[in-house]
Chain A
């Protein structure tokens, strides 16, 4: 079934540890995104990639890094996790980064940093 997968589903992490959240899509979409969702704040864009080999910063990029080595994968890395990074993380993709393309979301990763 075509779509977006994320791993892990949930994770509890000690502060200071490094963590990579994985995201894979099989729709051959060019654009991919990482959001965090916090109660009362809605979804906020962390990083994005308009096409393989390129990345850009969103609204809240500090403490996070991404890479886009190929079309399908877009991992998000927390180099040294802090408690304020406790959140639900959603990966999304769209066919392109412009026009009328709809973004489709993965199931999310619930991350708790202690």
Chain B
């Protein structure tokens, strides 16, 4: 089975940095994805990691350590529009995605 854990909620101030951690235990590993989901909308793709290390994409960065079963998503220079749920998803040995329950980030002025 798959087990993916991430915090339920986080709050941060506009302009600050927030780090969302994700730990996983899965049957096989073929990559880790981060999705953003605004309330009432569909998830949208943010980042993909398959090798250890940091992937940077503008204000967002994602890190992966396969040996530790650990990833984080780093959101820099937070904006009000970044208030959303962030979903960690692992592609297992069967190439199917297993999702964490999501982390709701609230950005306050």
Given A42-B87, A105-B42, the answer on whether A58 and B48 have CB atoms closer than 8 Å is no
- Please classify how large the interface on chain B is, using the bins under 10, 10 to 19, 20 to 34, 35 or more: 20 to 34
Please tell me which stretch of B56-64, B65-73, B99-107 contacts chain A, meaning at least 4 of its Cβ atoms lie within 8 angstroms of it.
Answer: B99-107
Cα of A35 to Cα of B42 in the assembled complex, Å: 11
| 3 tightest A-B CB contacts, nearest first | A105-B42, A42-B101, A43-B99
For the complex formed, measure the closest distance between the CB of B44 and the CB atoms of chain A, giving whole angstroms: 7
Residue of B nearest to A96 (CB): B95
B interface, CB within 8 angstroms of A:
4, 30-31, 33, 41-45, 48, 50, 87, 89, 95-102
For the complex formed, measure the closest distance between the CB of B53 and the CB atoms of chain A, giving whole angstroms: 16
Number of A residues with CB within 8 Å of any CB on chain B: 21
A30 within 8 A of B: no
Across the interface, A107 reaches (CB within 8 A) one of B31, B41, B87, B89, namely: B41
